[in-house]
Amino acid sequence: MRRAARHATVQARRAAMSEVATMTVDFTREVERHRHELRVHCYRLLGSFDEAEDLVQETFLRAWRGRHTFEGRSSIRAWLYRIATNACLDAIGRRREPVAGTGMPAGEVPWLQPIPDALLDASEEPDAEVVARETIELAFLAAVQHLPAKQRAVLVMRDVLGWRASETAELLEDTVPAVNSALQRARVTMRKHLPERRTDWIGDPSAEEKAVVKRFVEATERGDLTALAAVLREDALWAMPPEPGRHRGRDELIGIWAPFMVGPQAWGEWKLLVTSANRQPAVANYVRRDGSGVFEPVSFDVLRIEGDAIAEILTFPTAVFARFGLPATL
Is the pLDDT confidence value at 316 over 70? yes
Q: Do 301 and 310 meet the contact criterion of CB atoms below 8 Å apart?
A: no
Give the Cα separation of 248 and 227 in Å (integer): 18
Predicted pLDDT of residue 100: 44
- 145-155 mean pLDDT: 94
**pLDDT for 24-47, tens place per residue?**
667 788 888 899 999 999 999 999
Sign of CA dihedral 120, 121, 124, 127: positive
Which region among 123-127, 195-199, 293-297, 315-319 has the lowest average model confidence (pLDDT)?
A: 123-127
Is the pLDDT confidence value at 323 over 50? yes
- 290-295 mean pLDDT: 89
Q: Do 325 and 316 meet the contact criterion of CB atoms below 8 Å apart?
A: no
Give the Cα separation of 234 and 227 in Å (integer): 13
Predicted pLDDT of residue 238: 95
Predicted pLDDT of residue 206: 75
Asked whether the whole model's pTM tops 0.75, one would answer yes
Under the banding of pLDDT at 50, 70 and 90, the label for residue 69 is confident
Predicted pLDDT of residue 7: 52
Of 295, 290, 299, the C-alpha closest to 319 is: 299
Give the Cα separation of 35 and 124 in Å (integer): 11
Under the banding of pLDDT at 50, 70 and 90, the label for residue 261 is very high
Under the banding of pLDDT at 50, 70 and 90, the label for residue 96 is low
Under the banding of pLDDT at 50, 70 and 90, the label for residue 128 is low
Give the Cα separation of 269 and 295 in Å (integer): 8
Q: Do 270 and 286 meet the contact criterion of CB atoms below 8 Å apart?
A: yes
Under the banding of pLDDT at 50, 70 and 90, the label for residue 235 is very high
Predicted pLDDT of residue 99: 45
> Which of residues 180 and 68 earns the better pLDDT score?
180
- Centre a 10 Å sphere on the Cβ of residue 97 and count the other Cβ atoms it contains: 12
Is the pLDDT confidence value at 53 over 90? yes
- Return mean pLDDT, the chain: 86
SS (H, E, C) the chain: CHHHHHHHHHHHHHHHHHHHHHHHHHHHHHHHCCHHHHHHHHHHHHCCHHHHHHHHHHHHHHHHHCHHHCCCCCCHHHHHHHHHHHHHHHHHHHCCCCCHHHCCCHHHCCCCCCCEHHHCCCCCCCCCCCCCHHHCCHHHHHHHCCCCHHHHHHHHHHHHCCCCHHHHHHHHCCCHHHHHHHHHHHHHHHHHHCCCCHHHCCCCCCHHHHHHHHHHHHHHHHCCHHHHHHCEEEEEEEECCCCCCEEECHHHHHHHHHHHHCCCCCCCEEEEEEEEECCEEEEEEEEECCCCCCCEEEEEEEEEEECCEEEEEEEECHHHCHHHCCCCCC
Under the banding of pLDDT at 50, 70 and 90, the label for residue 16 is very low
Predicted pLDDT of residue 103: 45
Is the pLDDT confidence value at 22 over 60? no
